Structure 1
């Protein structure tokens, strides 16, 4: 696997509010935070650009709403912000795709000549997947670091329930099989980026 020297790491919604399991329900992949931290560390050590994304939910009861402590980044992300030698961008959004946030991510990436993205964060099947799909549609080489993401159990129509693992696997199959992104492990990316 080749990781471009200017590949952007997109850290999606790694916020304290997602630790409120009474609101979100059971989650999967307890090792995701360690994987995310290891990728941020490698990106910063190698001078690659990091994009940190915050979900400013407009739902009044959301643990991610502005003004509530759940809107803050998890400590390990906050401690790493601004520590790298490469560019760093903060994008805020209130929808699923980072490409619909502020400032305009696509314009920033194109201005910097960046064509490869590595996606990590929360939730696998929501904001991370949506960003991967749009990134693929826009022509970016998208790497989806599967084990550096997590999600929660969910109920859908007709009483259908899926576990967080089932939802994550479904996202990975759809993204990889549909050609939106290459689904990889954090270790594969870390090893290739060093």
Structure 2
């Protein structure tokens, strides 16, 4: 079945397009490089953004918290993942790694959501409010990483009543196993559509 994406009710969520993820010198890029290269990630992200903007679909940047040295002090339950990110100062505030990749800079009219602290772009941010205020009912979720922030954001979106589309070659992970889990095992339990970039662009 061909999915349709009306520009008045569709939003593109670009999750965590940071240098640390997407640039060769980034702190996390080496871990995602093999998978990212195998799906031609950067080119697909660029293609989608061009077509989405030309179609008049609203773009939302959904950024992860930018690390600071004092993060999580006196927190009751920081996760090992959060503490490791703090230790490595991943996406560090006011650093090159914590800047958006040069190919994925916000344009006038794009909406930059408040930073999320863990995996979901909805939890403790203004994402749901911004989507509702823009009349969005369908969300297309792309960016990093497939089995963490993409999955958590998309799953949360479904729970809130949004129509969710995943794009399996416009994301990456640290292993092929994680990609398989994200799109073949977990994704079908919550996503309304799981497409390739080619399929998405045809629908747009």
TM-score (norm 2): 0.79
> Could you give the per-residue CA deviations for residues 89-140 of structure 1, whole angstroms, max 9, x where no partner exists?
10122221111254x1111111222100001001111101100110111111
Structure 1: distance between partners of 2:29 and 2:46: 22
Q: CA RMSD in A?
A: 1.9
Contact 2:27–2:90 under 8 Å retained in 1: no
Instruction: Determine the structure 2 residue equivalent to 1:170.
Output: 181
Whether 1:100 aligns to 2:123 is yes
Contact 1:17–1:70 under 8 Å retained in 2: yes
SS of 1:50 mapped into structure 2: strand
> Could you give the per-residue CA deviations for residues 32-87 of structure 1, whole angstroms, max 9, x where no partner exists?
11111111101111111000122224425232121221000111002xx215xxx4
Q: Where does the alignment leave 5 or more consecutive residues of structure 2 unmatched?
A: 68-85
- Give the structure with the higher percent strand: 1
Provide runs of 4+ in structure 1 moved above 4 Å: 20-25
Structure 1 pair 181/130, CA: closer, same or farther in 2 (3 Å)? farther
Contact 1:143–1:184 under 8 Å retained in 2: yes
Structure 1: distance between partners of 2:162 and 2:17: 22
Q: How does 1:61-80 map to 2 (within 5 A)?
A: 61-78=88-105
SS of 1:74 mapped into structure 2: coil
Structure 2: distance between partners of 1:49 and 1:23: 28
